[in-house]
């Protein structure tokens, strides 16, 4: 099959491989292996084995042999020191041409008899960094590729701010709909997980994410967190468990709102925020709706854009293909 490509996106705990014919998604596979395994063991063996299995299972699922591939492109933490091949971040501002120019190819014979082309991350120009200037530095690996994928799928030619929820939520400022200027990252996803599973709240939040959120509880948690801080709002979830009739889904929603509003407050306090500039909220629908509701109802942000699920589908893969195409690889 001509023009058959694979995209590889490695994160902290998972690796995702997708197969494409031009821009048509054919299939893929996810494996629960990421750079956390390298950090924990001190060896890249688990990651290499996981990437190999994800690629092989993807090829089997679409009945294609490795020699039929035209291209393999990797992005995300796979280009970090804990990944397969370390690439230095390029310095912002950076556009798709800069990312394409900085791509590098490496072949791993134990993974695939074909080179893998790697896309670098992006960082601020603030190194070396003094302690008192810590907030001046931010960086990304993988989100730059998602941003390219998003900008290729939405019609925007003005400055905007993109919110990419996740274990590490990231705000990315883009100029004229094409250039990554700055970013701001939080640990909100990890904080939420720790509060749910390793705090006094764990016993009352055993069911995890509910099928649907309580929208009023999301806003109530956000308001208290804004007024009295995250730590106080989080403890209030315990008070609700002991002294109210609030069900677990409501208490989870309250905690979620308390955590997410702090992301938005961090952004509003930074140089990324410019009033009136569109805030494009991505992520799965539950997170997207929660962030958008908090931004509008608690913080009074009016220029909010929420792309639909189809637009947000497989941004990392689509962005990787766009960058490879700009490099002339497709």
Look up the domain containing 48 and give its range. Answer: 4-154+311-327
Regarding whether 323 and 294 lie in a shared domain, the answer is no
- pLDDT, mean of residues 192-206: 97
- 175 lies in a domain? no
What percentage of the chain carries pLDDT values higher than 70?
99
Q: Tell me the DSSP string of 122-155.
A: EE-S--S--GGGGGG--EESSHHHHHHHHHTTS-
Regarding whether 135 and 261 lie in a shared domain, the answer is no
Regarding whether 112 and 73 lie in a shared domain, the answer is yes
Residue in 170, 193, 141 with CA at minimum distance from that of residue 320: 141
Residue 14 has pLDDT above 90, yes or no: yes
Regarding whether 318 and 301 lie in a shared domain, the answer is no
**How far apart are alpha carbons 294 and 72 in whole angstroms?**
39
- 201 lies in a domain? yes
- 256 lies in a domain? yes
Regarding whether 233 and 323 lie in a shared domain, the answer is no
- 162 lies in a domain? no
Regarding whether 137 and 224 lie in a shared domain, the answer is no
Regarding whether 244 and 302 lie in a shared domain, the answer is yes
Residue 130 has pLDDT above 90, yes or no: yes
Regarding whether 211 and 125 lie in a shared domain, the answer is no
- 57 lies in a domain? yes
**How far apart are alpha carbons 285 and 265 in whole angstroms?**
21
Residue 2: pLDDT band with limits 50, 70, 90: low
- 268 lies in a domain? yes
Q: What's the pLDDT score for residue 7?
A: 99
Regarding whether 112 and 71 lie in a shared domain, the answer is yes
Residue in 82, 61, 80 with CA at minimum distance from that of residue 17: 61
Regarding whether 88 and 9 lie in a shared domain, the answer is yes
Regarding whether 319 and 293 lie in a shared domain, the answer is no
Q: What is the CATH number of the domain that holds 264?
A: 3.30.420.310
Average pLDDT, the chain: 96
Q: What is the CATH number of the domain that holds 44?
A: 3.30.420.300
Residue in 77, 55, 75 with CA at minimum distance from that of residue 64: 55
- 173 lies in a domain? no
Angle between helix axes 215-228 and 248-268 (nearest 10 degrees) is: 50
- 321 lies in a domain? yes
Regarding whether 196 and 134 lie in a shared domain, the answer is no
Residue in 107, 101, 93 with CA at minimum distance from that of residue 120: 101
How many domains is the chain partitioned into structurally?
Answer: 2
262-286 pLDDT, tens digit each:
999 999 999 999 999 999 999 999 9
Give the residue ranges of DSSP H helices in the chain.
35-41, 45-61, 96-101, 143-151, 188-197, 215-228, 230-243, 248-268, 285-293, 309-312, 315-327
């Amino acid at each position: 099959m001509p023009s058959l490509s694979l995209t590889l996106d490695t994160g902290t705990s998972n690796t995702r491989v997708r197969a494409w014919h031009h821009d048509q998604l054919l299939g893929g596979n996810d494996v629960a292996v990421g750079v956390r395994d390298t950090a924990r063991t001190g060896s890249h063996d688990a990651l290499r084995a996981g990437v190999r299995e994800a690629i092989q299972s993807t090829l089997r699922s679409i009945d294609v042999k490795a020699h039929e591939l035209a291209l393999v492109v990797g992005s995300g933490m796979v280009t970090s020191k804990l990944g397969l091949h370390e690439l230095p971040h390029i310095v912002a501002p950076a556009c798709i041409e800069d990312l394409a120019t900085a791509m590098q190819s490496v072949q791993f014979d134990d993974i695939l008899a074909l080179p893998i082309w790697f896309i670098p991350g992006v960082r601020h120009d603030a190194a070396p960094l003094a302690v008192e200037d810590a907030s001046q530095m931010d960086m990304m690996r993988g989100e730059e590729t998602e941003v390219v994928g998003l900008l290729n799928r939405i019609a925007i030619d003005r400055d905007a701010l993109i919110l990419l929820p996740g274990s590490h939520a990231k705000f990315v400022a883009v100029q004229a709909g094409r250039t990554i200027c700055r970013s701001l990252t939080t640990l909100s996803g990890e904080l939420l997980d720790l509060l749910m599973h390793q705090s006094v709240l764990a016993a009352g939040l055993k069911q995890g994410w509910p099928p649907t959120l309580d929208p009023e509880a999301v806003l109530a948690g956000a308001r208290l967190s804004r007024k009295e801080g995250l730590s106080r709002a989080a403890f209030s979830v315990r008070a609700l468990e002991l002294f109210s009739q609030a069900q677990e889904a409501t208490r989870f929603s309250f905690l979620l709102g308390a955590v997410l509003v702090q992301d938005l407050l961090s952004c509003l306090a930074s140089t990324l925020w410019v009033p009136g500039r569109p805030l494009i909220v991505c992520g799965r629908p539950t997170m997207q709706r929660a962030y958008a509701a908090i931004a509008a109802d608690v913080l009074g942000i009016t220029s909010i854009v929420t792309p639909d699920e189809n637009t947000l589908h497989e941004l990392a893969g689509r962005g990787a293909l766009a960058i490879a195409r700009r490099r002339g690889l497709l």
